[in-house]
């Protein structure tokens, strides 16, 4: 077994960059223990000061953008324009959480006055959300910045007051190493406690990290199989810990009759092939009238694929789509262009009638990670109601409708909200805005916990837990709960939301 993690260039299949040594269990223990020690200091740093630190990390990443993007392109083949945008999204995430910290409502400060006249009598109760401890963050292969070393899980966990240990993804070790270097240096320069952020390499180190007693929660973005294995490991500990995994998603799109025009095809193909289809929100399942299938097929045929992130993903995509093409469950509508690159694939569009789909739903809802989609054809929208309700949990559900379809669009949305975390109207699901109102989650298997999001301001809630202080003197309370509200944050006082 190799003792190093080696990155590869997906365009050539050749090694890229210097190999990175796998982290032995003894070093995982040291890093996790150091993170736990740093947590004691970091968790009591005032929120406004943590905000400044996050902004300094963002500034440092921006300053190193040329090197980071060049390195990531060599290991992922995602292209400089896409990676430049993704890195900016990553630094904007850090800055968003700086805003969250200064605004303060994320701690849900709640104050109840004493009332001896009710049954049972009520003492003085003050409730607030406090950080959990050290968080293990597993990097994603398809987002080497935004969902990796300095991505949303890391940003939200550091913002909450937790320390972080990242498990680098094996597909981009050089990018991970360079990003971690920038983060560590920026944290040190900003005065954050030593060890508040660490990184480990290699599959075995990830297992050791989940099992380590210092780790109090886990964030994961990746495959359903890998996520389920780690979820079971987290739950099987002597002290089970929260595991927030984002896994597989087919992202159903319903095109209603009034919207089934040729214009919709170009948007579909663009969304399907973005990033070579390696988006968790890729529109892999489309319900549409038969009349629009030729236009969708032509748009896919005119599109180009590209190199997948690694050889395993390339092989998996080819095996899955070849099996579907060879089955009697769906027919190939069209195939796009396959570039002459080592791990390149072509976009593919399949089609099947809604009756066949419903009878073989489990097989036909398997995710083929990459630029492939299945169009399920229907005659009347009412045919979709029962089958949509049976879909597996998914991150997004999309409805395309004309004004004449509004009644049906509302009915479809009501069904989709039970299986999807974000419902989209007349747009495509790729592209997840980093905002206060974003929800990026859904029922199993899209995530392991449908109540939480991995993108947006409220993703910070994964790393904080409630504590109630009963009858404590004001001077000994956290500032969020003191009578004078020295932080000036929104609070609920005797049931009334008060915004200073």
Give the C-alpha separation, 175 to 70, whole Å: 9
> Which residues, other chains included, contact 439 with Cβ-Cβ below 8 Å and sequence gap of 6+?
421, 422, 453, 455, 456, 458
> Which residues, other chains included, contact 50 with Cβ-Cβ below 8 Å and sequence gap of 6+?
42, 101, 158, 159, 161
CB crowding 159-169: b at 16 or more within 10 Å, else e = bbbbbbbbbbb
Give the C-alpha separation, 344 to 431, whole Å: 23
Give the C-alpha separation, 77 to 93, whole Å: 23
Longest dimension (CA), the chain: 79
Whether 480 sits among the annotated catalytic residues: the reply is: no
> Which residues, other chains included, contact 486 with Cβ-Cβ below 8 Å and sequence gap of 6+?
479
Cβ contact 53:184 at 8 Å? no
Give the C-alpha separation, 435 to 429, whole Å: 15
Give the C-alpha separation, 124 to 128, whole Å: 14
SS3 165: strand
Cβ contact 436:456 at 8 Å? yes
Q: Which of 246, 341, 408, 480 is catalytic?
A: 246
- Helix and strand numbers (H, E) in the chain are 15, 21
Give the C-alpha separation, 39 to 160, whole Å: 11
Q: Which of 55, 178, 280, 408 is catalytic?
A: 280
Cβ contact 301:332 at 8 Å? no
Whether 162 sits among the annotated catalytic residues: the reply is: no
Which residues belong to the active site? 246, 280
């Amino acid at each position: 077994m190799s003792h190093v993690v080696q990155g590869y260039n997906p365009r050539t299949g050749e090694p890229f960059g210097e190999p990175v040594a796998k982290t032995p269990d003894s070093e995982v223990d040291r890093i996790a223990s150091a993170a736990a020690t740093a947590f004691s200091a970091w968790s009591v740093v005032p929120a406004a000061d943590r905000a400044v630190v996050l902004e300094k990390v963002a500034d440092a990443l921006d300053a190193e953008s040329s090197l980071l993007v060049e390195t990531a392109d060599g290991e992922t083949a995602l292209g400089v324009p896409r990676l430049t945008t993704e890195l900016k999204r990553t630094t904007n995430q850090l800055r968003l959480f700086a805003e969250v910290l200064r605004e303060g409502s994320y701690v849900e400060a709640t104050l109840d006055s004493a009332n001896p006249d009710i049954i049972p009598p009520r003492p003085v109760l003050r409730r607030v959300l406090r950080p959990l401890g050290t968080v293990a963050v597993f990097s994603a292969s398809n987002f080497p910045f935004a969902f990796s070393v300095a991505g949303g899980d890391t940003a939200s966990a550091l913002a909450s007051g937790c320390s972080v240990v990242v498990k680098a993804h094996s597909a981009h070790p050089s990018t991970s190493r360079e990003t971690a270097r920038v983060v560590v240096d920026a944290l040190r320069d900003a005065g954050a406690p030593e060890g508040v952020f660490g990184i480990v390499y290699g599959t075995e180190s990830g297992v050791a990290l989940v099992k380590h007693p210092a780790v109090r929660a886990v964030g994961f973005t990746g495959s359903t199989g890998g996520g389920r294995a780690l979820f079971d490991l987290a739950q099987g500990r002597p002290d089970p810990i929260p595991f927030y995994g984002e896994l597989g998603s087919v992202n159903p799109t319903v095109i209603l009759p009034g919207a089934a025009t040729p214009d919709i095809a170009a948007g579909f193909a663009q969304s399907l092939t973005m990033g070579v289809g390696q988006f968790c929100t890729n529109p892999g399942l489309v319900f549409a009238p038969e009349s629009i299938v030729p236009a969708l097929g032509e748009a896919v045929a005119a599109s180009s694929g590209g190199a997948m992130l690694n050889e395993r993903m390339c092989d998996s995509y080819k095996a899955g789509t070849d099996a579907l093409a060879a089955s009697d469950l769906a027919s190939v509508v069209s195939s796009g262009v396959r570039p002459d690159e080592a791990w390149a694939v072509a976009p593919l569009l399949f089609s099947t009638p809604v009756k066949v789909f419903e009878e073989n739903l489990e097989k036909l809802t398997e995710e083929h990670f990459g630029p492939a989609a299945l169009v399920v054809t229907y005659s009347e929208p009412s045919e979709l109601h029962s089958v949509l309700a049976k879909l597996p949990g998914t991150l997004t559900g999309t409805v395309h409708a004309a004004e004449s379809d509004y009644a049906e669009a509302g009915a479809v949305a009501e069904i989709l909200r039970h299986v999807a975390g974000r419902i989209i109207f007349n747009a495509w699901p790729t592209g997840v805005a980093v905002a206060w109102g974003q929800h990026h989650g859904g029922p199993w298997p899209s995530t392991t916990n449908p109540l939480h999001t991995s993108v947006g301001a409220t993703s910070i809630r994964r790393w904080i837990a409630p504590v109630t202080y009963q009858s404590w003197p004001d001077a000994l309370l956290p500032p969020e709960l003191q009578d004078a509200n020295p932080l000036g944050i929104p609070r609920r006082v005797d049931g009334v939301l008060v915004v200073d």
